[in-house]
Amino acid sequence: MLRSNRNLAYVVLARFVSRLGGSAVWFIGTMGVAAYVFEATPRQLAIMSAINGIAAIAGSLIAGVLIDRFGPRKVMIWAEFGSIPPVLWMMVAPTLPLFVLGSAGFSLFGIPTWTAGASFAPYIVAGRAELERANAYIEGGSAVGFVLGPALGAIVSNAFNQRSVFWVMVICSVIAAAAAWQTHIDETPREHIGTAWADFKDGLRISYTTRSILYCIVMGTAVWLGFGAFSALEPLFYRDVVGVGVEWIGWMNTAFGVGLVSGAALLPRLPAKVVSARGLAVYTTLAGLGTILYVGSTDLRLIAAGAIVWGVIIGGLEPLLRTLLHLDSPHEYVGRIVGTAQWHRSLGELVPLAFVPALAVLLGIQQTLVGGGLLVAAIALVSYPVAVVIDRSRGQAAVTSEA
């Protein structure tokens, strides 16, 4: 498919390179410099994560409106170039507050590159099967970048110095923008009545009043609430529960990344009926249970196996969720709907930071993580009857349109 669709190949390349630089900068640059250069406290790191999360939410919402007005190609190019100044600022920021200001700017411009990439498929392919395959390729390319980014960042940091890793993002942003520039899509200006604010509210209205779209957003939010718990507790799980060094976080996240790539590649090979609301409910249930496979043991061999299995599930769930959103979104609303789903994702990662640490003190680190996984699985299982109704309605609509 990549050989026959030049546009898709360039989008996959752009997302791979952008995620490669982004994950290198996030793990080694942003969090690493804050912790090791500025010696930030856990409270300061939590505040920085919260500020970055708020900036990411703003970026995803703004990006959605811009994509529907100008197309994902232009938004991706602008966002890639826009992320360079804050990255350069983080290289020289003399104090932690000024460094956090740069990281917030990076989140503000970095998330729109993600939103644009997630909106590209309907612009370059048509049809249910083609959308599924295109989203799987785009997500797979992004996942490979996620796997390799921290390793690249570590190599650059060791060869030069820790702040030099920010140059990786600068170079990757230029390459990603160049790849996006090579795509050719319909960029005919969309007709819009009213202001950008009116467009924004209209996008929220469609997202929250269309049952099938809202279901996808809710399932995605549930999964990312579970991920948010890991942002606060995963380092403590390895340090205090498993009793190993920080390097094991990197090794296990690499194993998780391998699972992500495998899961994205597997999705198009599954039966067509998987691409449905019921399929999403099953995948979300498995995502919750996969958490338990990952953190339910202190044996590193079982943790590694759980990381891979969980990665396979999430790797399939992401393009499945995106494909369903694309199938149910009117073309002129794709950007705003994807942007709404994206800000829910950012919110899901942010909200647990407010209460998960206290819950871990009360119940225990491992128990809190396992409980979070069970909660995600329970939400998905309870929602299954809703998924059945959505699929039945979609099937009836298809029959009516054929008639």
246-284 pLDDT, tens digit each: 668 778 878 888 899 999 989 888 888 899 999 999 999
CA proximity to 309, closest of 255, 265, 231, 266: 255
Helices and strands per DSSP (H, E), number in the chain: 17, 0
Least confident of 50-59, 63-72, 250-259, 372-381: 250-259
% residues pLDDT > 90 (the chain): 54
Domains 1-178 and 196-403 share a fold: yes
For residue 232, name the pLDDT band (cuts at 50, 70, 90): low
In what helix (H) or strand (E) does residue 112 lie, and over which residues does it extend? helix 96-119
Q: Could you tell me how far CA 266 lies from the centroid of its own chain?
A: 19
Q: Where along the chain do its domains lie?
A: 1-178, 196-403
Band (pLDDT 50/70/90 cuts) for residue 150 is: confident
CATH of the domain spanning 196-403: 1.20.1250.20
Q: Which CATH class is domain 1-178?
A: mainly alpha
User: Rounded distance, CA 1 to CA 11, Å?
Assistant: 13
- Other CB atoms within 10 A of residue 363 CB: 13
Kindly give the residue spans of alpha helices, DSSP state H, lying in 329-364: 334-350, 356-363
Q: Is the pLDDT of residue 402 over 70?
A: no
Q: Phi and psi dihedrals of 66, rounded to 5?
A: -65, -40
Distance of alpha carbon 28 from alpha carbon 219, whole angstroms: 31
